[in-house]
Amino acid sequence: MRVLGIEGTAWAASAALYDTETDTVHIESDPYEPDSGGIHPREAAEHMGTAIPQVVEHVLELAAETAPASRDGPPIDCVAFSRGPGLGPCLRIVGTAARALAGTLSVPLVGVNHMVAHLEIGRHESGFDSPVCLNASGANAHLLGYHNGRYRVLGETMDTGVGNAIDKFTRHIGWSHPGGPKVEQAARDGEFIELPYVVKGMDFSFSGIMSAAKQAADDGEAIEDICFSLQEHIFAMLTEVTERALSLTGTDELVLGGGVGQNARLQEMLTTMCEARGASFHAPEPRFLRDNAGMIAVLGAKMYAADDTVDIADSAIDPNFRPDQVPVTWRGDEESVARSGATADSLRGAEAIVEIVRDAPTGETIDPPFVRKRRLEKPYRHPTLDQTLRRERTVSEARLTSEARRAGVPTPLVFDVDVAAATITFDHVGTDDLAAALTADRVRTVGAHLARLHQAGIVHGDPTTRNVRIGADRTYLIDFGLGFHTGHVEDHAMDLHVFKQSLGGTASDPDALYEAVESGYRSVGDPATIERLRTVEGRGRYQADA
């Protein structure tokens, strides 16, 4: 099979030929390079209007020249195009070109989600079964995992894409687009300074760190130090949330996607994290990380083989096309990213080793056992940042676990805290994680627990299905390390959003569970939180402000 792919979501006018027999991909690209500032949608569209016909013509000529002599008919079997997400004016040009070509050659048309293509090219190259994918691109930043016929969003940015965030800083100091490679170069001569570090369970936010970086530049901090610290903070946030996704799902495979994925420091952090976990990591070659038509053609071939094509009359582009909206027809009944959790007495989570202690030093059996949790040093993080986070989170977890209990939420008793060793000793609660025994009643109880926390001015910060323990007659919340005090409805809504995301990544029927958690919350909490949750759920969309 031979597939011609066309890409043009924002800046890269690109066409490619993918031959499934030889597993070879030829890519022709003509990137848009603005004279100043970021991507200007009108200028980008003008560039697409000129460049797309040229790159398509080059690839079509190659397809004709290399077609087997025995081939009867057109030199390609189908046309695949990036349907979204992206800049509307650019996508419309790509869609028009794809429809015209498919119609002229009388071949099928395949509409591809650009972000899913970033994931699938990594899965294709790596040979992994069901990896978690970190997409780190200009306009996006999210974690994806395959579950129950779709790619679920396990975590994502709550404001702007990671590349756009970096570009906003570089525009502020007068550097031209793209800013990422310039920051990477300047960071080589920089030293660490403190910047905001914002992880919200499985999600992250870049607005605070960008504002702080701009202010630091205005205050006269060395640009090299700001660039160094931007990378250390932003990429550590991405790596931490990626590890949380691996821990939540239980998978041991990770692929990287997106143009920001070309950054050597980000790849280094992810490699270090995966080695420490015993997980496998794959970063595609650079031509497949930046926006390109090769990944569109490769995924297009998989979709075409699954008879997942579109009629020309029903092939409208979608600038806000989310990856979790795509029916994954080409994978069938393949393994979900959600794997069964460990059951040993020594368990490794995203941040800590949890040891269930059953025997006293004297040899006597401890009944009931207790739990010793030790936050691990993270070698991928800068030592100063790592030490700060481990200390702050140990103190926060011990304090908020006890405060939540006083607010009427079942939590473990705290027996001992060693801040220097980042270790807490608790009593052992429950028989399993909620992830292993999801029911509507238990999820409804978690919703009520979160409402009680919020009434007491506490946010859990990381309420996933792995951070809820179930017993014979009680449901407990654990791991308050990302928690904090706040009465703001926005933070309360984010707590619910994080929990619902974890349900989407692990449950077979998440919709019924979504209703249950909201029902439980309404029975105790403020209805305004549910109203704000709708606003939060509307974020994380494609950010076209590059």
Residues forming the active site = 462
Identify the three-state secondary structure at position 538. Answer: coil
The torsion angles phi and psi of 320, rounded to 5 degrees, stand at -110, 30
List C-alpha distances in Å: 464 to 200, 220, 234, 380, 495. Answer: 11, 41, 22, 24, 9
Give which of 159, 151, 87 is closest to 122, Cα–Cα: 151
Count of Cβ atoms closer than 10 Å to residue 395 Cβ: 15
Q: With b meaning 16 or more CB within 10 Å and e meaning fewer, what string describes 83-95?
A: bbbbbebbbbbbb
Give which of 237, 167, 251 is closest to 201, Cα–Cα: 237
The torsion angles phi and psi of 368, rounded to 5 degrees, stand at -80, 160
Helix/strand/coil (H/E/C) assignment for every residue in 446-487: HHHHHHHHHHCCEECCCCCCCCEEECCCCEEECCCCCCEECC
Count of Cβ atoms closer than 10 Å to residue 163 Cβ: 25
**Structure tokens given for 68:** 């087997």
User: Residue 243 in contact with residue 201, Cβ under 8 Å?
Assistant: no
CA distance 224 to 458: 38
HSE at residue 469, side-chain half, CA atoms within 13 A, is 14
Which pairing describes strands 132-136 and 253-257: parallel, antiparallel, or unpaired?
Answer: parallel
User: Residue 262 in contact with residue 163, Cβ under 8 Å?
Assistant: no
**Structure tokens given for 19:** 């031959």
End-to-end Cα separation, the chain, in angstroms? 36
Give which of 321, 306, 239 is closest to 272, Cα–Cα: 239
Residue 531's identity, in one-letter code, is E
Identify the three-state secondary structure at position 371. Answer: strand
The alpha carbon torsion through 137, 143, 148, 149 (nearest 10 deg) reads: 0
Identify the three-state secondary structure at position 419. Answer: coil
Helix/strand/coil (H/E/C) assignment for every residue in 132-148: EEEEECCCCEEEEEEEC
**Structure tokens given for 330:** 């080409």
CA distance 315 to 100: 12
Identify the three-state secondary structure at position 252. Answer: coil
